[in-house]
Structure 1
Amino acid sequence: MKSRRRPYSEQRPIDVGGGVWSVPVPIPGNPLGYTLVYAIESPAGPVLVDAGWNHPEAWLALRDGLAAVGMDVREVRGVVVTHFHPDHAGLAGQVREESGAWVAMHEADAALVKLMWSFGEGAQRDLQADMLRRAGAAKVEVEEVTAERPRPPAPPDRTLHDGDLVDLPGRALRAIWTPGHTPGHICLHLEDTGRLFTGDHVLPAITPHIGLYPYDRSDVDPLSDFLDSLAKVADLGELEALPAHEWIFQDTAARATEIRTHHEEKLVRLTALLAEAGEPLTIWETAGRMSWNRPWEELPAMLRGMAAGEAAAHLRTLEVRGVIRRVPGVDPVHYALHS
């Protein structure tokens, strides 16, 4: 029987066995509801996998959730961040302030965090606005999407590389670089228990957001990276998955294969959409014609921006594969099928 995502109100900290505890931390105002933060015991103090959203309600949930399973946030040894997004890295800095813990993430995401802090808030908004304009968004849509931005997470103390062992005395927790959702996303293989903390890379029911930012970049291909990362995780075998959202599930490999199939089918549908259009489309026009979990017109501004990022990532993969081309010399950017 398939599990279902329970609302945050029904979530409780639980002992999932093998010296691992799950602590749900709310994401106020977000349909995901909560992040599952995991605490791994060690003789030198617990290490957290992710930390949750930077919000007073979330902080209380993390602090009190750890206390409910017999841990003191002031004794946390370290926080391993699966990726830099605010629902994962947001509270890492506050945990560090309380406990003196180290914070670690992959070097690629650490570089992005450093870059974000180098820009002032106004500069970040201007860059995003120009990206939206080049994608074909109307002025009012640009204003809506850029209205709110969370602060960047705290910079890490340590950077991780593919295959590194995390500083977790008495345990074997290995970083598996799985780029796609972010350039530096990592899964974490707890080798002494045969489990995989999957972050947002492999989730049991939903598929993680794969976006291209800026939308018109031509030097990266995050969707292809993601598909390769899914194959990499599948090669690890039938590990139990401890994801950052929804619920714990069996057989990471099978679910990774399902998600690969989902995106390949999405690429086929996108190719057909461009063929049916009969003319070049902007990224924004393409996103508006794709299928989402609700009609395009009903998506809030932030979600339209994310949908455009996902459309851009799929267009980029089709471009790399030689299925479509960018129309030269036009602004905003347009894509068309190769003739």
Structure 2
Amino acid sequence: MERIELSNAAFEGDNNAYLFDDGPETALIDTGDWLEGSEGQLRQELADRGIDFSDIDRVFLTHWHGDHIGLASAIQAEGDATVHVHSADAPLVAGDADAWAEMHDLQERYFDEWAIPEDGQEVLFGLMDGSAYTENPPTVTPIEGGDTFTINGIEIEAVHAPGHAAGLCMYEAEIDGSSEVFTGDALLPQYTPNVGGADVRVERPLAKYLDTLGRIAEAEYDRAWPGHRDPIDDPTARAEHIIHHHEERSWRVLDALRRLGPCSVWTVSADLFGDLEHIHILHGPGESYAHLEHLERDGVVEREGDEYRLAEGVEADLDALDEQRWPLV
């Protein structure tokens, strides 16, 4: 297995595609972005290894975001590779018009509920119109968590890991006696993957993502190969660090409500993240909503219309706790 680094202008850092070609079959996990220049870069990286797009037999995608699936169509068109993705994400990757219409409707609903200003919504819909997905999409083969595949003698198991995306799948394998996992954006070495905004289809996004992190920590993998940047040599520690990060963020959300009183998701986002631009106009309120929704279900936050406030008695509890972290239950 080899990691192929592909440039990406996004804040997460360079994309990774993972090549399996030590045997009769050639396969990729993720394909990089469809932005200008990405295709030429992947072609050159493969050519340096004596491989053409037409040589690729199977593509395994971690989730539906464009910087991971961008070149799947071009690869499939040249060699008839099968493209595998979790069933929850398959309609989006396949360019299904109904799936994209449903996504757009959900985005409109949440953007209004979160009180994202009109100019911010215009920016987001300009970035997320779905047209890149519906033009020449690949034919996809849906998979489920627990499905197994063998590539050149290596058994790979798909592990459903929702939170950042509804159908995000990791792929775990034993390689040369080491327990390895390809995490996509479920676990990143530098940034904490966005929850809430990155895929508005996910119900209870923070709860699902915390479950995913817990499973990663408990699995005690030897190494994680993320969708961006360098390998993670201690996936358990990294997963636990991100859990701790979300505990800290929940405290900050509660503190914002204590200081500001009842307020919208957008107001909480502004308190946490300040002014936002580009895709962060989505990620800030999405992350804030994920925490507010989680805290509401725990009974420490109440919602009235599109505003959230501390539940009765919580402010006194917060004062008593002082700088202790509010636990995520």
The bucket for the TM-score relative to the shorter chain is: 0.7 to 0.9
From 48, 60, 70, give the equivalent of 1:90.
70
**CA–CA separation in structure 2 for the residues paired with 1:213 and 1:192:** 31
- In structure 2, the gaps of 5 or more residues are 313-329
Give the paired residue count. Answer: 306
Q: 1:173 aligns with which of 147, 151, 156?
A: 156
Deviation at 1:139, TM superposition (A): 2.3
Does residue 143 of structure 1 match 2:127? no
2:183 aligned to which of 173, 198, 206? 198
* Equivalent in the alignment of 2:310: 337
> 1:28-63 CA deviation, whole Å, 9 max, x = no partner?
x42334211110125332110101111341001111
Distance (Å, rounded) in 1 between the aligned partners of 2:105 and 2:181: 39
Alpha-carbon displacement from aligned partner over 1:173-222 (angstroms, at most 9, x marks no partner):
1111111110111111122342111111111121111125786x8x8201
1:326 aligned onto 2:313: no
Of residues 245-254 and 144-153 in structure 1, the stretch that sits farther from structure 2 once superposed is 144-153
Alignment of 1:101-140 (within 5 A): 101-113=81-93, 117-118=97-98, 128-140=107-119
The one-letter code of the counterpart of 1:30 is A
Length-normalised TM-score, structure 2: 0.85
Q: Map residues 116-265 of structure 1 onto 2, 5 A cutoff.
A: 117-118=97-98, 128-149=107-128, 150=130, 151-152=132-133, 154=137, 156-193=139-176, 194-212=179-197, 220-265=203-248
> In the alignment, is the contact (CA less than 8 A) between 2:87 and 2:167 conserved in 1?
yes
Question: Could you tell me the TM-score, scaled by structure 1's length?
Answer: 0.83
User: Deviations for 1:256-306, whole angstroms, at most 9, x for unmatched residues?
Assistant: 11111111111111111111112x11111111111x3xxx22x21421122
Gaps of 5+ in 1: 1-19
Secondary structure class of the residue paired with 1:146: helix
Identity %: 29
For residues 36 and 312 of structure 1, the distance between their equivalents in structure 2, rounded to whole angstroms, comes to 29
Partner amino acid, structure 1, of 2:55 = E
Worse-matched range after superposition: 168-177 or 77-86: 168-177
Q: Give the conservation status (yes or no) of the 8 Å contact 2:224–2:231.
A: yes
Are 2:270 and 1:288 aligned?
Answer: yes
Q: What secondary structure is seen at the aligned counterpart in 1 of 2:225?
A: strand
Match of 1:147, SS?
A: helix
Are residues 1:61 and 2:41 paired? yes
> Which whole-Å CA distance do the structure 2 matches of 1:311 and 1:125 have between them?
20
Which residue matches 2:320? none
CA distance 1:311–1:144, shift in 2 (3 Å)? same
Q: Secondary structure at the match of 1:268?
A: helix
User: Partner residue of 1:12?
Assistant: none
CA contact (8 A) 1:129 1:146 kept: no
| Distance across 1 between alignment mates of 2:119 and 2:284 | 17
Secondary structure, aligned partner of 1:62: helix
